[in-house]
Structure 1
């Protein structure tokens, strides 16, 4: 399989999921800083939205969106499970992944693009007004407080083993740290969880 790869948290999610599953990927590096993803041939041949990552299957199909790619990996290689082994466990894993995606990753990304990332993203995308950035970041950090409370008795967000939600959360927590935010702060569970996830071999993917 071929992964159209770049810097940033989203491609890292796919690389980590593949590493957890033992799936080998042929990486094709795309220069997002140079805008390679926002013009042809990438938009015409890979992803018309101009976003990364994109997975090209062995059959030649292109799959985008990190959680969809994670579901595809789960279908191909069910063990170790990253979504769950029963209908109930899969529902819980998907619930937490959606909460993290919509409640943390999305507002964090939009807040970054509206503020620190504005010079890069404003010429390419519709970005939120700069004055919206603090509120968007506050939404994201509220979700971290929620996770810190709700997951206090667990090792990982959906239970005793990592799921796609944990991978998504790690990628965006580390992204927040890299751009000058402090996502961990006094959140004790999050700090312990972050140490556990960062120690996994897949975290280096």
Structure 2
């Protein structure tokens, strides 16, 4: 059975949890305590030298899948239904485009703002095995980028039920996890944005989003 290396308070492994749940892929879970720096220890480095979660070991003797892109590609290949990457060529293209946009313009904006201000992230402004100093100006830029994205995203959702193509996809997973995590910045993404609020309430009806 696959083993997911996880940390419940972090957004990136939550994306993997939701993907596996939506696919109905059973797995065991091992918690890596990021707050205690367990990801930097030799034991976890042997699994993922990048010192990040999620990491998914799909079978013994095979290198772990160490990012959400790889985990999603594997899950889609081993269990095509329900599809999270679309079914038609144009749907696949639209979903891929929105997923990349959300990662770059929303997820990374939140990461910039949080990791460059949080006291616990001092000298850990980027994840991984190398320490990097915080840059406060990046935090200011991250907040501005996030607020701009949220307003544009609300307008995008005004006439549709899901982020891309004609139904639920990985773009919804990525966006929902990012928007939920934005509260770490004391920003409520739903306030004054009725279309985001309606979309997020729709997703809350899916059991995977309780994870």
User: Hey, which bits of structure 1, 4+ residues long, moved more than 6 A?
Assistant: none
Question: Whole-Å Cα distance in 1 between the matches of residues 136 and 163 of structure 2?
Answer: 32
- Report if aligned partners of 2:95, 2:170 keep a CA contact under 8 Å in 1: yes
1:82 match: 84
**What is the CA deviation profile of residues 24-71 of structure 1, one whole-angstrom value per residue up to 9, with x for unaligned ones?**
12101101000000221211x111111111111125331112122112
2:32 match: 30
2:57 match: 56
- Report if aligned partners of 2:112, 2:138 keep a CA contact under 8 Å in 1: no
What number of residue pairs does the alignment pair up?
Answer: 202
Q: Which runs of 5+ in 1 are unaligned?
A: none
Q: Which runs of 5+ in 2 are unaligned?
A: 125-130
Is 1:112 matched with 2:114? yes
Deviation at 1:123, TM superposition (A): 3.5
2:141 match: 135
- SS state of the match for residue 62, structure 1? coil
1:93 match: 95
- SS state of the match for residue 19, structure 1? helix
Quick one: which of 178, 181, 190 aligns to 2:187? 181
Deviation at 1:179, TM superposition (A): 4.8
RMSD, aligned α-carbons:
1.5
- SS state of the match for residue 181, structure 1? coil
- SS state of the match for residue 48, structure 1? coil
TM-score by length of 2: 0.90
Pair 1:108–1:178, CA change in 2 (3 A): closer
